Amino acid sequence: MTLPNLISVLRLLLVPAIVTLIISGDDLAAFWVFVLAGLSDAADGIIARRFGLFSELGAYLDPLADKALLVSIYLSLGLIAALPAWLVILVISRDILIVGAVILSWVMGRPVEMKPLMVSKVNTTAQITLAAIVLAEAGLELSTGGLRLLLVYAVAALTTISTAAYLVEWLRFMAGNESGAGKKMPKGTDE
Using one digit for the tens of pLDDT, what is the confidence trace for 144-184?
A: 989 999 999 999 999 999 999 999 999 999 998 654 444 45
Rounded-to-integer distance, Cα 20 and Cα 27, Å: 10
Considering only CA atoms, which of 25, 149, 143 is closest in space to residue 77?
25
* Angle, CA of 153, 127 and 88, to the nearest 5°: 70
**pLDDT band at 111, cuts 50/70/90?**
confident
> Using the 8-state DSSP alphabet, how is residue 119 labeled?
H
User: How many residues in the chain?
Assistant: 191
Q: Map out the domains of the chain as residue ranges.
A: 3-186
Greater pLDDT, 89 or 110? 89
Q: Is 190 a residue whose pLDDT tops 70?
A: no
Rounded (10°) angle between helices 56-79 and 3-24: 10
Q: Is 13 exposed, middle or buried (0-12, 13-18, 19+ CB in 10 A)?
A: exposed
The CATH classification number of 3-186 equals: 1.20.120.1760
For residue 70, what are the contacts with CB-CB under 8 A and spacing of at least 6? Answer: 124, 127, 128, 131
The answer to pTM > 0.85 is yes
pLDDT of residue 191 exceeding 50, the answer is no
Condensed to tens digits (0 to 9), the pLDDT of residues 39-92 reads 999 999 899 999 999 998 988 899 899 999 999 999 999 999 999 999 999 999
- Number of helical (H) and strand (E) elements in the chain, helices listed first: 6, 2
Which among 187, 188, 115, 120 is positioned nearest to 155, based on CA atoms? Answer: 120
**C-alpha Rg value of the chain to the nearest Å:** 17
The predicted pLDDT at position 181 comes to 45
Q: Residue 186: what pLDDT?
A: 52
**DSSP character string of 62-114:** HHHHHHHHHHHHHHHHHHTTSS-HHHHHHHHHHHHHHHHHHHHHHHTT---EE
